[in-house]
Amino acid sequence: MPYKNFIIQSLKEAAIIANKNFGKVFGKIIEQTKKIDNNQVVTKTDLDIGNLLTGKIQQYFPDHNIIDEEIGIINNKSSLTWVVDPIDGTSNFANVLPMYGIMIGLLKDDSPVAGGIVLPFFNEIYFAEKGQGAFCNAKQIHVTDKTNLKEVPLVYAMDACRENPQSTYKECQLLTKIMLNIRNYRSSNSCYDIMMVAKGKYGGWLNRTTKIWDNVAPQIIIEEAGGKYTDFIGKKIDYSNPVSKTDKNFTVCAASPPLHQKLQEIIKNHNYSGFLS
C-alpha cells in the first residue's frame, strides 16, 4: 500500500473517532494529567486512536518500527519508523476547543519522508511526501511569501515550567522581543498552528518543549510547503536512532526561509546565559 493512501485513509478513520467523542469528555475523570508533565493530559480517545493507528501500521507494515506517544515503542530494528501522536492538543480536545489534530509521520533512518495531519473539526487533511509537495485536502499549499515579520502573525507555543520558574521568566522576555517584531502573536499550542504556517496563514512557529511525535509529520509538511524546520537555534534536528529518543526534548523554529532567518537573528541576540542551550 502506498504511503499516501495509507496515511490519508488512516487519518480519516482516526478523525471519525475524534469527532464522535469531541465534546463528550469534558469534565470526566478519564482525563488525567501525565505524571511526567503536569501540562500534559491523556484521554481515552488518545488511547483508542493510538490503538487504531498502531494496529493499522502493524497490519500493513509489520516490519517497521512504531513510536506512539501514548502506547509506546515497537522496535523491529527497521530503518523505517512510524511516529504517531494520537491527539496533538489533548488539553484543547478535552476542553471542547477545536484546535487539535492527529499526526502520523514516517522516518527513513533519521529523515522525515512522509507525514499526514488531520484537523478533525475543520475536516482538513494535510499530507506531504519527500519531493512531492505539501497538500491540504489534495490542494497544494505553500508557506507565506512575505519577508517582513511585521506583516505576519506568528506562533510561540509555551507552557509554564513550574520546576524552574526562572526559565519561564526568561522565555517570556524572549517572547516579548519577538512580539515587538511581528504583526500579531497567536497560539493554540497544537498542530493547528503548525498547519497554519504550512498554508501561509501564519509566518512561523516556535517551541522549546516538544517530543519526537510532535515533529516528524509537521517537519515534512512544512519543508514540502517550502518552509525551513530546524531546532530553536537553527540547527538540523537529530532523529538518529529514533526509538531511543522518546524522552528527548526537541526545540523547534519553523518558518519560511526569510522569516526563519529573521527569527534566528532575534533569538541569537537574546543573551541569557544557558537559556538557549
C-alpha distances in angstroms, 193 versus 28, 156, 242?
Answer: 27, 9, 25
Q: Please report the pLDDT score of residue 25 as a whole number.
A: 73
Which stretches of the chain drop beneath a pLDDT of 70? 1, 26-40, 271-277
User: Domain segments of the chain: what residues?
Assistant: 3-140, 149-268
The β-bridge relationship of strands 65-68 and 80-88 is parallel
Instruction: Select from 207, 200, 199 the least CA-distant residue to 128.
Output: 199
Q: Please report the pLDDT score of residue 211 as a whole number.
A: 97
Separation of alpha carbons 139 and 117, rounded Å: 14
Q: Please report the pLDDT score of residue 73 as a whole number.
A: 97
Q: Please report the pLDDT score of residue 1 as a whole number.
A: 54
Q: Please report the pLDDT score of residue 31 as a whole number.
A: 46
| C-alpha cell of residue 254 | 519553523
Instruction: For the chain, give the percent of residues with pLDDT over 70.
Output: 92
Taking only the tens place, the pLDDT of each residue in 221-269 is: 999 999 999 999 999 999 999 999 999 999 999 999 999 999 999 999 9
Q: Please report the pLDDT score of residue 26 as a whole number.
A: 54
CATH topology of domain 3-140: Fructose-1,6-Bisphosphatase; Chain A, domain 1 (3.30.540)
Q: Please report the pLDDT score of residue 41 as a whole number.
A: 79
Q: What CATH number does domain 149-268 carry, 3.40.50.980, 3.40.190.80, 3.40.50.2300, 3.30.1600.10?
A: 3.40.190.80
Q: Please report the pLDDT score of residue 274 as a whole number.
A: 52
